[in-house]
Amino acid sequence: MTAAAFDADSRTAPERRPFAPGTRMWDETGLITFSLTAGSAFLLQTMEPTIAAVVDEHSTFRTDPLGRAVRSIGSVMMWIYGGDEAIAEADRLRKMHASLNTTTPDGVRHKALASGPWAWVLHTGTFAFTENAEYFARRPLTPAEKDAYYQETVQLMRNFMVAPKEVPANYTEFEKFFTDMVENHLQETGTAHDYLRVIRSIAPPEQLPRALRPAWKRMVAPVGRLQYFVTVGTTPEAARRKLGLTWSESDERKLKALGWFIARTVPLLPERVRYFPIAYEARRLERDRARLRKVINLRPM
């Protein structure tokens, strides 16, 4: 399967299919740098009123932030590298979210599977991917590469049964939609501020003995500062402004310098380290299958 296999004009088609080698998602979603911009994606989700309300009531991000992050990353890896199980994972998430509804004090009923919020979760992933390339790759994506990648996201949204009305036709239309959402629909929420507080000071796992918690706090403090810094820096300025977050020219230079360093060191890491475990094993399995196919094709007839 190649990126060219995704056709924006057929985005209303019901076909759901797993991803495979040859797609940009297959090559890049599983990289450990995914976690750097995942923070801004989740922050943008918590600024959408329905998602904020549902997350506020049902999510464990405050009480078990590390566990929630690990489960979320594992789930995303399944979307891309799970093969036939990728569709099952999408269905599992839809079933899980079907009951995650809440009513806010103003009497508004919020449903996790409402078409707009459900689509917004995946739209923030599209933004995070292109933002990741902007800072943490050797070069930003070209307009043609962004459009080709967007065709893949159309398939991902189809796998998650996102309503066709929520899917812009191409990357140019997506950019217009995304900008309008950030500037005119996202809101400052308590959930968003709580999330920023949580990532800045990562709580220890619940099973960690109390005696070890001071050591944990010292150990993860640099990680929390880094994740907070990158999350704020890769969040759109309009969203930062709504949340009252400051970002200076000096901060931007530091983030670009960090990105330059990461873009040149991560490719030097062994593949087992460069990719999250599910992604690494899926890629290794595909190479094994390709070698087996080569041997089979060369057998005497």
Q: At what angle do helices 143-159 and 115-136 cross, to 10 degrees?
A: 150
In Å, what is the CA distance from 195 to each residue of 198, 230, 248, 249, 295? Answer: 5, 14, 21, 24, 51
Task: Give the whole-angstrom CA distance, residue 171 versus residue 153.
Answer: 10
Section 270-297 average pLDDT: 95
Beta bridge partners of 31: 275
- Checking if the pLDDT of 2 tops 80, the result is no
pLDDT of residue 203: 82
First to last CA, the chain: 29
Beta bridge partners of 101: 111
pLDDT of residue 84: 87
What sign has the CA pseudo-torsion 266, 271, 276, 279? positive
Residue pair 57/108 in contact by the 8 Å Cβ criterion: no
Q: Across all residues in the chain, what is the average pLDDT?
A: 91
Per residue in 115-155, pLDDT (tens digit) is 999 999 999 999 999 998 899 998 889 999 999 999 999 99
> Would you say the pTM of this structure is higher than 0.75?
yes
Element (H, E) at 206: none
Per residue in 30-77, pLDDT (tens digit) is 999 988 889 999 999 999 999 999 999 999 888 888 888 889 999 999
Per residue in 211-264, pLDDT (tens digit) is 988 898 899 889 899 999 999 999 999 999 999 999 999 999 999 999 999 999
In Å, what is the CA distance from 161 to each residue of 144, 164, 178? Answer: 26, 8, 20
Residue pair 150/127 in contact by the 8 Å Cβ criterion: no
- Checking if the pLDDT of 1 tops 60, the result is no
Q: pLDDT-based confidence at 24, cuts 50/70/90?
A: very high
204: phi then psi, degrees, rounded to nearest 5: -70, 160
